[in-house]
Structure 1
């Protein structure tokens, strides 16, 4: 498969791996609403923030939407969009690697870009996600008026690149049926089954039983046009006609078409790749929404996306309760729409406006803000979020663990380092879980209580006796135990089927 090369690509390929793990430190005074929530707003560089999420959220995000800098050679207020092309590629590559790790196996990523970088982005995504997992390049009509000042062509659209983590198991949802789509149905013959539309019965695909002659009620004879075939057999056609499911036109001599009833239609509409501004919102809609949300503030985000665009993506790619991630959160549109659609969310934004814009907007959403899609989804407010900033580096330059790390943070890193899965512990326990038949344990920060020596952080026979049993094989199950040291001899460890790993030396920092 062809790959893209650029200046300093070697460094960008290793940037995600070399990025240090940092702690995420909650800021209670900036958190809001329900305290018991999984929703997160994170302030900080999104490469470091994404790396911080890996141990706890790898493989858990159902839908990722990002609206990264477009590299349009113009400086925006809140970030520099005038990145030289190779710098832009080096910036985006490691972030795509981490987003790929965070995405669930049945998840998908949606990326808005214009023509400046979208085609290069696709080659990068082919390399990281795999070309076979490309889903679509949707066209979003962002403007509805032609710019007469355009030097060449009036630019009226953007791209929405869509990739799945694993296309074989990813499933898209149908879009809700709208009044507009229902208006395509009518009932010209007062059929008791209600409104209907029609589909052609001829197609170009060869069908051995699709070459017969059809005689209309008026006596007119019909055969498939040259190069086409009827899509149904003569026997099937006759059954449909006897059930009044064939439409011959008002005069009874048109080429027959099959009636499709609205009452029998699916509960939704198959998504298409062209998104009009009526269906997905426009730039004008987005600017109106942020003006209403931030009307009392001096600053405003000038390149937002409309809520209807994010709503459309989440309708196709997620369900209620799923986790949505946006690592270029901007003015907070994705987190706002996620909350209104009853999705969990993680939003990451760099700079002070993570607080001044994103927190401000999300508070309004929780309080029942009625702009954007609120009326469409009957939003009345509720929920909450926790605000985080990037804290200390967990591992030093040599990859060794720093002192003072919490049990939860270390447990997440050990579990991810050994299993490449995120830790899902309902209750704090020295037993982290079982992976491929091996049970993993962590003796750290007195997890077993104040039992000597060193609060139960040292593996002894007494400590081993009170550890939770191997869930799959209490007698002979393989166990990996992390602790400060072990006072059990190698023969005893072998007899108990234990591999002991010492903290901090055996904890992986990459």
Structure 2
């Protein structure tokens, strides 16, 4: 498969690996609402934030929606959208790598973009997600009217590239609309309700599709040259008896098969999204003005209805949604109203001045955007975080201030490449592929003395939670040190790894 090359690509390919792995620190005074929630708003560089999320959310996110800088060679108030082309690609590559790692195996990623970088982004995403996992290029009609000041063409649309984590991903269908139902009528007052006449012919050969049939008025019908009846003569007569064949208002037209509205399914997503269905740039700016009257509008917000459609196709209630180029906070506002769990990341100060107060309004029951269509009233909560200190120093040594839950999640992911799901602090982290993992750290079994639990001794070994259940299985124990000799460790089938020397960065 062809891949994209650019200046400093080598740097981009290793950037995620070499990025500092940082802690997330809550700022309680900026958190809001119900404390028992799993929604996060993070302020900080999104590359470092995504790296920090990996041990906890890898493989959990059902939908990623991002609206990165378009590299339009213009400057916006809240972020710089004037990056040299190669720098833009270097910006995107490591972030897309980490986003792929965070995606659920049945998840999808949606990236909004315009013509400036769209075609390069497509090749880049083919490389990272796999060309077979490309789903669609959605066209969003963003403009309400032509821009007559344009030198050449007035741009009416943006793209949204859709990729799945694997090629078996199936999008959810969209609810039927009044417009899609309006083509169904009931000219013969059929008690089964409105229906649509279906084409009775098929282009492909059908062994039972060559016959002639007589209509109610005696007129004889046969399939046109080169075409075939879609159903057998026996089936057509059976449907006719059930009043499912329409011969026209006078009974003299070619037969059509009735397709009843009550029997059709929801709508397959289409790739052209019109402004009257999902909103436009004007829609989103009006939404922001209502939320923050008198304040300067965010330059490039997306309408809530656009995100609503994405989430209806890609998620169900309770699923995780992630936006690491959060901007004005539309993605997480819509996700909250639709009862999805979410993580939003924004580097700018407007994480505090725009996104945070916007979520507060949502929780308090603001009724703009998609509140009515999603049935939103009020409630819920979120926690506000910033990026804290690095887990490892510049020499790769473990930060001594790291707490047990953080190190446990890090080690579990390091060993299994899956997020740690346990909620309670326990020296037993869990089993994965018939290997049991234990962590002796911060006095998890007692205090910091050797006999207290940080050092593996015979007494500590006997007191490890669920240790008897793993008799004969392979056991990996992380700890400060061990007092057990190699023969004793081998007898117990234990591999001991010393903290901090055997703990590496992601």
Report the aligned-residue RMSD: 1.5
Name the counterpart of 1:212. 211
Mapped to 2, the partners of 1:450 and 1:8 lie a distance apart of: 49
Q: Secondary structure of 1:128's match? A: helix
Alignment check: 8 A CA contact 2:303 2:330 kept: yes
Alignment check: 8 A CA contact 1:470 1:479 kept: no
Instruction: Give 1:179 shift.
Output: 2.1
Alignment check: 8 A CA contact 2:436 2:470 kept: no
Name the counterpart of 2:163. 163
Name the counterpart of 1:366. 363
Name the counterpart of 1:21. 21
Mapped to 2, the partners of 1:135 and 1:223 lie a distance apart of: 40
Mapped to 2, the partners of 1:450 and 1:140 lie a distance apart of: 59
Deviates more, 1:211-220 or 1:239-248: 211-220
Residue 288 (1) aligns with residue 279 (2): no
CA-to-aligned-CA distance 1:267-313 (integer Å, 9 cap, x gap): x22211111111111111101001111115x3331210000000000
Name the counterpart of 1:489. 485
Residue 176 (1) aligns with residue 175 (2): yes
CA-to-aligned-CA distance 1:19-48 (integer Å, 9 cap, x gap): 110000000010000111100000011011
Name the counterpart of 2:352. 355
Mapped to 2, the partners of 1:153 and 1:219 lie a distance apart of: 58
TM alignment of 1:59-458, pairs within 5 A: 59-168=59-168, 170-266=169-265, 268-296=266-294, 298-450=295-447, 452-453=449-450, 455-458=452-455
Instruction: Give 1:255 shift.
Output: 3.2
Alignment check: 8 A CA contact 1:470 1:477 kept: no
Instruction: Give 1:470 shift.
Output: 4.5
Q: Secondary structure of 1:408's match? A: helix
Q: Secondary structure of 2:426's match? A: coil
Mapped to 2, the partners of 1:138 and 1:452 lie a distance apart of: 60
Instruction: Give 1:212 shift.
Output: 2.6
The count of corresponding residues between Structure 1 and Structure 2 is: 506
Mapped to 2, the partners of 1:191 and 1:261 lie a distance apart of: 10
Name the counterpart of 1:475. 471
Mapped to 2, the partners of 1:173 and 1:139 lie a distance apart of: 18
Compute the TM-score of the two structures, normalised by the length of structure 2: 0.97
- Rate the CA distance shift 1:416–1:122 in 2: closer, same or farther, 3 A: same
Mapped to 1, the partners of 2:461 and 2:83 lie a distance apart of: 56
Mapped to 2, the partners of 1:344 and 1:173 lie a distance apart of: 18
Residue ranges of structure 2 left out of the alignment (5+ in a row): none
Instruction: Give 1:451 shift.
Output: 6.8
Mapped to 2, the partners of 1:114 and 1:219 lie a distance apart of: 59
Instruction: Give 1:93 shift.
Output: 0.6
Alignment check: 8 A CA contact 1:137 1:161 kept: yes
